[in-house]
Each structure stands twice: as C-alpha cells, then as structure tokens.
Structure 1
Amino acid sequence: MKKNLLIVFIAVAAICFGFQAKAQTATSGPVTVNINLTDAISITLGASPTVDFNYTTAADYAASKTVTKANHFTVVSNKPYDLTVAATDAFTPAGGPALSIVTVTVPAATANGGTPVPNVPLSTTAAPLVNGSTASTGAVYTVDYTISNPASLLDLAGSTYSTTVTYTATQL
C-alpha cells in the first residue's frame, strides 16, 4: 500500500510540475495623444485699481507725488508679450490738467523678464510700457503713477479730475 501511495504521489507530482503556467498578454493598437494649443492672453485687475492723488495742503503742490499700486494687475499669456498703456479721454471735467502730467512706470523687479519703459506719460495714444515680457501663468505687475511737477495743477478749480486708463497686452 505504501508502494502504491508512493507511485500515486510521484505521478501527481509529475503531472503538476509538467504543466507550466503561461501568462496571457494582449496589445492594443496605436493610441493618438493630441495637445491642441490656442494662443491665450488675459489681464486681470487687482482688488483696488483706482489711483488717487490727493492734494490737500500747500506742501502737496510743492513736491513730486508717486502712488504705487502693488499687485495692480496680473497677466496670463502662453507666449511672450508687450504691455501698453493709454488713457481713454482727457481729464474731466473739462479744463483739467493735461494727461501727460501723470507718468506710469512698471518697476524692473515686476516686469516679468521684459524691459520696462520708465516714466511713460499718459496719452490717448497707446504707449509702450513693458517690452518682451515672458510667457507666464500669472505675472503680477506693480505700477507707479507719478506727478513729478504739480505746477500745472495750480489755478485749477477744486474738483476731482478723472480719466480711465487701459492696459493692453499683445502677444509677440
């Protein structure tokens, strides 16, 4: 009986080791992966875009004033771009100061790799502000508004003189 049991055991072992498990594989056909790009650019203004020059004392009329707007706007662009600045109209009410009394500058530290043009006078014609900024997913710009010579504000009636400024980003 032991001999029969040994023969059965050897036969079962031979059968088990005689079969090899083979992994099954499958291959798909080719798969195309596309990345479809469209040129995209946007400007988003910061939380408080209004610029206020306040002349309340005699000393204010004797010195230069700069209003710095940190995080003034953010540009998103998938390509390098230029920035320009323009005022939509002259200061209102009529008879206000010339637009060019206010100059605009982007400090080099926030020019996003571009070349800033210093002291750009406001005009109704778009003027270069930063040339050759690099592509970015969120370039944050600081802008300095300056009235360097307030003499032309003398003899004006007490009022709030306003204009609207527009920034334009153009991809290169």
Structure 2
Amino acid sequence: MKKNLLIVFIAVAAICFGFQAKAQSGTSGPVTVNINLSDAISITLGAAPTVNFNYTTAADYAGSKTVEKASHFTVVSNKPYDLTVTAGGAFTPAGGPALDIVTVTVPAATANGGTPVANVPLSTTAAALVNNSTASTGAVYTVDYTISNPASLLNLAGSAYSTTVTYTATQR
C-alpha cells in the first residue's frame, strides 16, 4: 500500500510540475502623450510696493538716500526676458521735482542671471533695468531707489510728491 501511495504521489507531482502556468497578457495600441506649451510671463508685486523717501530734518537734505525694497516683485517666465522701468508721469502735485531725481537699480545678486543696468533714472520712456534674465518659476527681485543729490528738493513746498512706476518683463 505504501508502494502504491508512493507511485500515486510521484505521478501527481510529475503532473503538477509538468504543467507550466502561463499568464495571459494583452497589449494596448499606442498612446499619445502631449505636452502643449505656450509662452507665459508674469510680474507680481510684493506685499508693500510703496516707496517712501522721508525728508524730515535738515540732515536729510545733506546727502544721498536709498530705499531698498527687498522682494519688491517676482517674475515667472518660461523663457529668458528683459526688465524695463517706466514712470507714469511727472511728480504731482505740479511743480515737484524732476522725475530723474530718482534712480532705480536691481542689485546684481537679485538679477536672476541677467545683466543689471545701474542707476536708471525715472522717465516716462521705458528704460532697460535688467537684460537677459534667465527663465524662472519665481525670480524675486530687490530694487534700490536712490536720490543721490537732493539739491533739487530745495525750495519745494512741503508736500508728498508722487508718481507711479511700472515694471515690464518682455520675453526674448
């Protein structure tokens, strides 16, 4: 009986090991994957974009002043770009200082790989500020506003003189 049981066991084992399980598979047709790109560029101003030069004492009129605006704006661009700056008009109220009393500079450390132009005077004509910045998903710019010679502020009536400034990023 043991012999018969052994023969049956060997026969069942041979049958089990003799069959190979074959997995079934299927194949789809080709699938197209598209990445559709469009040129995209934007500028977002920082939380506190207003620039204030305060001349409250006699000593304030004695030398240059710089107001640094860290994280002044952020540029997102999928291609290299140039930055320009433009003043919206003369300082108001009328009779204020000339626009070019204020110069604008982007320090090289925050120029996003571009070439900054130093001491760009405010003007109603667009002026280059940074040339050939690299594409970026969020380049943060610091901007220095400077009045190097406050002499043209002398003899002006006490008031707040204002103008608007616009930054433009143009893809190359």
Normalised-by-shorter TM-score class: over 0.9
Give the partner amino acid of 2:29.
G
Residue equivalent to 2:72: 72
Residue equivalent to 2:16: 16
Residue equivalent to 1:144: 144
Residue equivalent to 1:103: 103
Give the partner amino acid of 1:28.
S
The within-5 A match list for 1:84-163 is 84-163=84-163
Cα distance, 1:17 vs structure 2:
2.0
Moved more, 18-27 or 107-116: 18-27
SS of the aligned residue for 1:43 comes to strand
SS of the aligned residue for 1:163 comes to coil
Q: TM-score, normalised by structure 2?
A: 0.96
Percent identity over the alignment?
Answer: 90
Cα distance, 1:103 vs structure 2:
0.4
CA distance in 2, matches of 1:13, 1:106: 82
Structure 1 runs of 4+ off > 2 angstroms?
1-11
Task: Give unmatched runs, 5+ long, in structure 1.
Answer: none
Task: Give unmatched runs, 5+ long, in structure 2.
Answer: none
Determine if the alignment matches structure 1 residue 31 to structure 2 residue 27. Answer: no
Cα distance, 1:8 vs structure 2:
2.3
Q: TM-score, normalised by structure 1?
A: 0.96
CA distance in 2, matches of 1:122, 1:130: 14
CA distance in 2, matches of 1:155, 1:36: 59
SS of the aligned residue for 1:112 comes to coil
How many residues were matched structurally? 172
1:23-51 C-alpha deviation (Å, 9 max, x unpaired): 22222211111111111101111111100
Cα distance, 1:10 vs structure 2:
2.7
